[in-house]
Amino acid sequence: MEQIFFYIFAVIAVVTAIAVVSVRNPVHSALYLIVCFLQVAAIFILLRSPFLAAVQVFIYVGAVMVLFLFAVMVLDVGKESFSEHMHSQAIPAVITVAGLLAVAVWLISTGSLTAPLGPYTEEALSKNTEVIGKALYTQYIFPFEVVSLLLLIALIGAVVLVLKDKGRGAGRRP
């Protein structure tokens, strides 16, 4: 039963990932990316890693997508240049994706492509969060703090850019 759910989540993740790069509206693209991230979190649950699933939802879906939607709304991405770049690549992309899907379906149907459960016991998997937490706050504390500072700097930069644009547009009248 787990394998069936894995394939369902994987297919939805792949389809929404393709939709992320193929839809014309950047807001719809961001929404498809949220669905893709949620499918990856569901796959982490199937792999008995609830901590990584929670991190996937909180960090990627919660924080990164809010920041991405904020950037899309602030920058107002033009649709004209996007359609010019995608139009010439649509046919080769569809052929490539169809070929890859055909190979994947063939491998799954012949039994050559399976998802083994692995040698891990329930006892070893239950300490997953504890092991990740200890490694994160001991061995990897410096990279963790560097990433948090980079995210803080990016947030401050986004706020400064928005306030700078509002300051320029405040004196103008339509």
pLDDT, tens digit, for every residue of 5-15?
998 999 999 99
Q: Radius of gyration of the chain from Cα atoms?
A: 21
- Cβ neighbours of residue 76 closer than 8 Å, sequence gap 6 or more: none
Could you tell me the residue ranges of all domains in the chain? 2-77+88-119
Region 2-77+88-119: CATH code: 1.20.120.1200
pLDDT at 76: 60
State the pTM of this model. 0.58
Average pLDDT for consecutive 10-residue bins of the chain (174 residues)? 89 92 83 91 88 86 76 62 59 83 85 67 71 85 90 83 68 51
